[in-house]
Amino acid sequence: MTLQNDLFLRAVKGETTERTPVWLMRQAGRILPEYRAVRAKLKDFKELVSSPAFAAEVSIQPVDLLGVDAAIIFSDILVIPDAMGISYEMKEAKGPYFPSPIRHEADLAKIRIADPMADLGYVLEAIRLTKKELNGRVPLIGFAGAPFTIFAYVVEGSGSKTFSVARRMMYENPALSHQILQKITDSTILYLKAQIEAGADLVQLFDSWAGILTPAHYEIFSLPYIQQICEAVQTAPKTVFAKGAFFARKSLAKLDCQVLGLDWNMDIAESREMIGKEKTLQGNLDPCALYGSFADIKTETEKMLRAFGKTRHIANLGHGVYPDTDPDKVRCFIDTVKNFRG
C-alpha cells in the first residue's frame, strides 16, 4: 500500500522532505479525553494493552486528533517480561510491580524465550488492525524496551529512582546479569521481527533507564545487546532512544540503526558533531516546554528546528509527553513544526 504521508519514512532514510515530520512519544494516552473515554470502559491498563480493538483505536486517535505524521502502536515495554513468564501488575499512581523478581540463578528457570505468536499475539493483532484502519494515511511504529531497561525492572521488582538492586547485581553477579540480558534480547529480536511482519514500518528501542548506568557499565551491559537486536532485525528501519546516555553518543552512533533519539539534555549541535551525518536524529524539545504559553511553545519549537537544520531530523519531544499536558499545547507544537519553513 502506498503511503499518503511518507515524510517520516523519508526522513528516516535521510531523503529531502518538504518539511520536518513530527510525532510524539506517548502521544496515544492520557493527554487525550478520547483516550480516557476508552480507558474508562476497561478494568485496568493491562486489559487495554491486551485488547487489540481498543489498542488500535487509541493508537489511531493522535493521527485523527493531533495530526501527527506517524502512529505508534499502543502497548507497553513490559509485555516482553510478561511473555517470558515474569508477570507484572500495573499499580495506579505507582507504576509496574513484579511480585516475583529475578534475583538468583534458580530464578532463571522461571524465564522462557517469548514466542511472539503464542505469547504476544494480541500486540500483533493490534498492529494488523491499526494498519488496516490507518489505510495508508501515515506509517506505523512498533517498539520494545531495550534489554537493560527490561532487566532493570525485572531484577528491581518495580520502578525506582536508583535501580540499586538491579545495578548491584551487575557488580556482584555479572554472569547472571548477562544470562538474563541475553534471554531478554533473544525474546525481543523475535518480537520485533513479528511486529514488522504484522505491519510495523519502523521499530523503536526504548532504553528508558540508560542514564542510570556508569559509562563503563553501559558499554558492557546495554550497548552489546542493543547491537545484537539491530543486527538481527533487518527488514525495517530502527530507532534507538537511550534516555540519559549523553556519555554514549559516539558509541550509539556506531549502532546498526537509522535513527537516534535525543533527550532534552543532549545539545543538538554537539550531538550532530558526535554522531555524524549518516543518522537521522529525533527529538528533542523539553516536554515541560509544553506547559508554557502558546507563543513560548512556538518560539522554543522554532529554536529547536533551526538547531537541527533542514535534513535528517524527526521532530519529537526529548521524552514522552506528560499526562497533564493540555492537548491544545501539543497541537501548537505539532502545528509549529508543520508550518515551519526556516
Q: List the domain range (segments joined by +) for residue 228.
A: 7-279
Q: How many domains does the chain contain in total?
A: 1
26 catalytically annotated:
yes
For 281, the 3-state DSSP assignment is strand
**For position 279, what pLDDT does the model report?**
98
Catalytic residue among 39, 103, 128, 168: 39
Q: How far apart are CA 266 and CA 179, in angstroms?
A: 32
39 catalytically annotated:
yes
The residue-averaged pLDDT of 102-117 equals 96
Alpha carbon distance, N-terminus to C-terminus of the chain: 32
153 catalytically annotated:
yes
Residue 70 lies in a domain: yes
**For position 234, what pLDDT does the model report?**
98
Catalytic residue among 35, 88, 153, 218: 153
Residue 286 lies in a domain: no
Residue 175 lies in a domain: yes
pLDDT for residue 1 is more than 80? no
Catalytic residue among 26, 249, 272, 312: 26
The residue-averaged pLDDT of 65-74 equals 98
Q: Of all helices (H) and strands (E), which one includes residue 152?
A: helix 147-156
Residue 308 lies in a domain: no
CATH number for the domain that contains residue 85: 3.20.20.210
225 catalytically annotated:
no
CA distances from 333 to 7, 29, 73, 330 (A): 17, 17, 21, 5
At 58, the amino acid letter reads V
Catalytic residue among 6, 69, 76, 207: 76
35 confidence band (pLDDT: 50, 70, 90): very high
**For position 65, what pLDDT does the model report?**
98
Residue 296 lies in a domain: no
pLDDT for residue 159 is more than 80? yes
Residue 234 lies in a domain: yes
pLDDT for residue 99 is more than 80? yes
Name the pTM for this structure.
0.97
Catalytic residue among 19, 30, 103, 128: 30
Residue 160 lies in a domain: yes
342 confidence band (pLDDT: 50, 70, 90): confident
Residue 125 lies in a domain: yes
What percent of the chain stands above pLDDT 70?
A: 100
**For position 90, what pLDDT does the model report?**
87
C-alpha cell at 137: 494515511
C-alpha cell at 104: 538468583
Cα 323 to its chain centre, rounded Å, is 16
**For position 94, what pLDDT does the model report?**
81
